[in-house]
Chains A and B, each alone.
Chain A
Amino acid sequence: MGEDIEILDQIASGRTYALERLMTKYQSFVYYLALQIVGDNQDAEEVTQEVFWRVYRFAKKFRGDAKVKTWLYTIAVNEARNRLRRKGVSRFAHEDISETELPTDQDLEEGYLLEERSAEIQSAIAKLNPTQQAVILMYYREELSYQEIADIMDVPIGTIKTHLFRGKKSLAKILGEQSVQMKEVAVQ
């Protein structure tokens, strides 16, 4: 985190190589987030460009009260949503979710038949809806807290928890189905 702030300080003083470093580090996830929201490669590319352009322009204004990557992802989500809004499309994450349908630990336990199933999990994640995918990746891959994800997506923290639980439930279901299919293939 300290390294990111250092990079941002260098960007603020006009050093473009620092921006290149930041891009190398984060552009994949920024592009992924944008793609999840706008659903189109061209738009996601433009959103990613705009995000890093803004980082370059406004690096001086970063107050340091959040992680750099949280700030970066917040810009990405806002920029992508603005793009969708301009196009009159709604696709991502503002749906109102009640917190009453959380799956139990038992549900999750039953769904996971986990023995070196990394590849299966990855393909299962790709089948989740964009919001659940993004939340699961932000939580498990980017190691952001519920609060940070809620801030990035500008939704209540409960909504994030719900997305995460539902995502994991769907994941468990998909993995269960995949396991059956693989067994069938093995028998044939």
Chain B
Amino acid sequence: MKVNDSEDILRASVGHYELPQPPPTIKTNVMTRIEGDQRRRQLLHRLFQLGVPFGFIAVILLMSAWKPMQQTAAIFCEWIIPSIPTDLYGLIWYSMLWVGLGLGLFIIALLVMSGIRFIEE
């Protein structure tokens, strides 16, 4: 008998090799673990959905109750709101300030969102 024949027979025999049967609990356990993980993620997601805006409002309220913060806010408002500049240089400065504030808020939002995604993963 040639080696090629024996290779073919070996291939055919091993092809039908009966592997030990894995316990049926494997699939159940993996699925249970996945379900638990999905529930945990959903819970975490809801917590963040509620927690982030409420937390933000709570922080602002707490800060607004703090005297030095009230004074700073008052100065800031006085500086910005009543004095909308009329000259070109002032207007540029004024709009850049608001663009900067907007960008700052946008970056904070991005950071919070990526933080949520990281925790969820």
Chain A residues engaging chain B, CB cutoff 8 angstroms: 14, 16, 19-20, 23, 27-32, 35, 41, 44-45, 48-49, 52-53, 56, 105, 108-109, 112-114, 117-118, 121-122, 125, 136-137, 140-141, 168, 171
- Smallest distance from the beta carbon of B7 to chain A beta carbons, Å? 8
Residues of A within 8 A of B2 (CB): 109
Residues of A within 8 A of B38 (CB): 14
Partner pick for A109 among B3, B14, B18, CB 8 A cutoff: B3
* A–B complex contacts, Cβ < 8 Å, 30 sampled: A16-B31, A19-B31, A23-B26, A27-B27, A28-B19, A28-B22, A31-B20, A31-B22, A32-B19, A45-B26, A52-B26, A53-B30, A53-B33, A53-B34, A109-B2, A109-B6, A112-B9, A114-B6, A114-B10, A118-B9, A122-B18, A125-B14, A125-B17, A136-B14, A137-B14, A140-B10, A140-B11, A140-B14, A141-B14, A141-B17
Residues of A within 8 A of B17 (CB): 122, 125, 137, 141
Interface: B21 (CB within 8 A):
yes
Bound Cα distance A65, B18 (Å) = 30
Residues of A within 8 A of B31 (CB): 16, 19-20
Partner pick for A114 among B5, B14, B23, CB 8 A cutoff: B5
- Smallest distance from the beta carbon of A81 to chain B beta carbons, Å? 19
**Known contacts A14-B38, A117-B9, A122-B16, then 13 further A-B pairs from the complex at CB < 8 Å, ordered by chain A residue:** A20-B31, A23-B30, A31-B20, A32-B19, A45-B26, A53-B34, A56-B30, A56-B34, A108-B6, A112-B10, A125-B14, A141-B15, A141-B17
Residues of B within 8 A of A52 (CB): 26, 30
Residues of B within 8 A of A30 (CB): 22
User: Looking at chain B's contact residues, is the secondary structure mostly helix, strand, loop, or mixed?
Assistant: helix
Q: Are A112 and B1 in contact (CB under 8 A)?
A: yes
Residues of B within 8 A of A41 (CB): 23
Q: Are B27 and A35 in contact (CB under 8 A)?
A: no
Residues of B within 8 A of A122 (CB): 13-14, 16-18
